[in-house]
Amino acid sequence: MSQVPLERKVLSENDRIAAALREEFRRHGIFCLNLISSPGAGKTLLLEKTLESFPADERVAVLTGDIQTDNDARRLARYGFPVRQITTAGACHLDARMVERHLANWDLASLGLLLIENVGNLVCPTSYDLGEHAKVVILSVTEGDDKPLKYPGIFHRARLLILSKIDLLPYVPFDIAAARENARRINPSIEILEVSSTTGEGLDAWRAWLASQRV
């Protein structure tokens, strides 16, 4: 079997499982987000600040993916909400079967929000539907403002772009206006937020966006 038909078969099976997950989320009233970025763009810290802001009875859970270690899960578990680590052992993305497996034995009826932190990569996770309602792409100002043009797939599919680490703008050669323009060249309807998880700037806008999507 050639590589292309095999890849289509894999994606077809993934889409089947993702559709079943999406139906489960719909049935239980769960809003699911898939957070995607390069390594080091600030996904985990953003999630920490998000969980920190929730009341103790918030119906939220997190699945966090990484190639090795459970460091992120241990960081996020400190906030008292259900967290599970998905260790991919070399795979550069999460897939729907991994999500399905790690949701087993969770009481989905007790959840209202599921946040999935994908493996740090702007390419591989793009093609894999996890049953999410929306993809969120995070681009830090320590990267290039031309990333949307270099990795158009994820920017085309994402509902929201978070420009992170904006507290570092005075120290890096990142043109935030160009980043916005490049993202909208790929996806004219993409929403864009500017956030610093370190200073807190933009976090209220992120929380407001999150609340608006869950209505």
Determine which of 6-15, 84-93, 148-157, 202-211 has the lowest per-residue pLDDT on average. 6-15
User: What is the pLDDT averaged over residues 44-68?
Assistant: 95
Distance CA 112, CA 32 (A): 9
Amino acid symbol at 157: R
Average pLDDT over residues 134-139: 98
DSSP secondary structure letter of residue 143: S
Q: Please report the pLDDT score of residue 214 as a whole number.
A: 85
The CA distances from residue 198 to 49, 172, 201, in Å, are 9, 16, 8
Residue 146: what pLDDT? 98
Task: Choose among 8, 124, 13, 128: nearest CA to 67.
Answer: 124
Residue 192 has pLDDT above 80, yes or no: yes
Tokens 């966006």 found at: 209
Helices within 63-215 (DSSP H only): 71-77, 96-103, 147-150, 152-157, 176-186, 203-214
Is it the case that residue 6 has pLDDT exceeding 70?
Answer: no
- 66 three-class SS: strand
pLDDT at 89: 82
pLDDT of residue 107: 93
pLDDT at 3: 54
Give the type of residue at 141.
V
Q: Is the pLDDT of residue 9 over 90?
A: no
Mean predicted lDDT score pLDDT of the chain = 94
Identify the band that residue 215 occupies on the pLDDT scale cut at 50, 70 and 90: low
Q: What is the mean pLDDT of residues 134-160?
A: 98
SS3 track for 179-214: HHHHHHHHCCCCEEEECCCCCCCCHHHHHHHHHHHH
pLDDT of residue 117: 96
Q: Which amino acid is at 1?
A: M
Span 157-182, mean pLDDT? 98
pLDDT-based confidence at residue 1 (cuts at 50, 70, 90): very low
CATH code for residues 3-214 = 3.40.50.300
pLDDT at 10: 72
